[in-house]
Amino acid sequence: MHLQWWSILPFAAMLASIAVLPLVPRTAHWWEKQSSQLAVALLLGLPVAVWMWFALGWQAVFASVVEYGQFIALLLALFIVSGGIFLKGDIEATPRNNTLFLAVGGVLASFIGTTGAAMLLIRPLLNTNQERRYRVHTVLFTIFVVANCGGLLTPLGDPPLFLGFLRGVPFTWTFSLVWEWAFVLAMMLAAYFALDSYYYAQEPASAVREDREDIEPLGLRGASNLVWFVVIIGAVALTPSVDVEAIEAGHATLTDWVPLREIIMLAAAWCSYRFGDKRARFEDNQFEWGPIAEVATLFIGIFLTMIPALHYLDQVAGSLPLNEITFFVFTGGLSSVLDNAPTYATFFEMAGQVAHPGGATVAGVPETYLVSISLGAVLCGALTYIGNGPNFMVKSVAEGRGVEMPSFGGYVAKSFTYLAPVLAAMVCLFIAEPLWAKALGSLIVALLLGNNVRLLAHARRLKLQDS
């Protein structure tokens, strides 16, 4: 069946609900209830699922439901296990220490997943900064760096790369993206350090004094949960799940129907919850189900309404001007609103069918295209709250600790202020070939670094005035 452009309207309505309803005074309180969010998700998603079942066949809906189940199972398992680990202690919340927190998270994200790293670090980071007045920017950069950009180096880091691994991309291939990873993280950490220095200089003297006096050495509570982290990572890397292709083709065996990977992950999560350190989970981390419940609820609507959106994208793919740069732009742009894992899969398949530009191929895809698709899916998932699952979870945890996070539109404005210019510079320097692009990328880097210097100088002036 040939879908028309209006088939994407339910998905657009789902996005509009997430962006607008929390801002309208008459609906804001209503939207805060998860029952309301679920009602909107089902009202928009179920009719689309029924329509797609009859229009495209049961396979289209089945594949989306399976992907949703795999997606939520991974997030849920990592959320539960990380909730049982507490980095105890309280160090001084200086710009240097906060930047080191984010840098460690950016490295960990590639090896324990962006969800695991974000959930592991957001609580101790909030605890460390609890005396400070200005904390929103720290949570935003946690989403940028730890919940997204840091997960670029291995298939364990982010769901899109794991889908590539399942499609034949070698496990170690993503290490070839180390220079892009290092560039983006270095630029984002430099921007954060300058911004946090600027805000730190404006902190009330009483808050700074209290923060300096309330110091406790760092330590780890609930360390036994690290074993369950290893189990989950091993399950992701080594264990099969439901084989959707075999089922759709009609030659599936009994084992192809068994979600063994998800069973192992959820069993590890149950063991963590049942036998883990209760003090670390409930007293220190103040563990609650709200963040993962919100993600699971909203993504029901997102996964169902984006079925026709992804099929419509397949239809128009042949008319798109696809090359190294546009693969990044299209994959990245759509990953920020369609969820990055299925978007990666769509463009991965598309790249294997377009004209070959020459050079090496990886899993049947030209390597130059695969680089652009991988970078776009992982890095641009941070541009909106819904681009990657951990984004909403970090937001929800922060709000539970009293941090007033930006609205959907406010977050996008921040991501385009701090992250988008860095990604533009990366594209110019690492993907684009013309010399003018290299020059433009160098100019963007110079402007960003100049802004950092300006913020640091302003912070220094504020400190001198206070003294």
| Number of compact structural domains in the chain | 1
CB 350 within 8 A of CB 363: no
- The reported pLDDT for the residue numbered 207 is 77
* Burial label, 7 (beta-carbon count in 10 A; 0-12, 13-18, 19+): buried
Rounded CA separation 291/289 (Å) = 6
- The reported pLDDT for the residue numbered 321 is 80
The SS3 of residue 286 is: coil
- The reported pLDDT for the residue numbered 171 is 84
- The reported pLDDT for the residue numbered 149 is 97
Tell me the residue range of the domain where 228 lies: 5-466
- The reported pLDDT for the residue numbered 137 is 97
Contacts of 122 (CB under 8 A, 6+ apart): 139, 142, 146, 394, 397, 398
CB 138 within 8 A of CB 117: no
Contacts of 167 (CB under 8 A, 6+ apart): 345, 348, 363
Question: Helix, strand, coil: what percent of the chain each, to 5?
Answer: 75, 5, 20
- The reported pLDDT for the residue numbered 306 is 85
Q: Minimal CA–CA distance to 425: which of 413, 449, 452, 443?
A: 443
CB 380 within 8 A of CB 332: yes
Here the tokens at position 143 are 């989403």
Residues of the chain with pLDDT under 70: 317-318, 467
- The reported pLDDT for the residue numbered 467 is 61
Rounded CA separation 141/398 (Å) = 12
Contacts of 244 (CB under 8 A, 6+ apart): 62, 63, 66
Contacts of 346 (CB under 8 A, 6+ apart): 310, 313, 314
Predicted TM-score of the model (pTM): 0.84
CB 300 within 8 A of CB 67: no
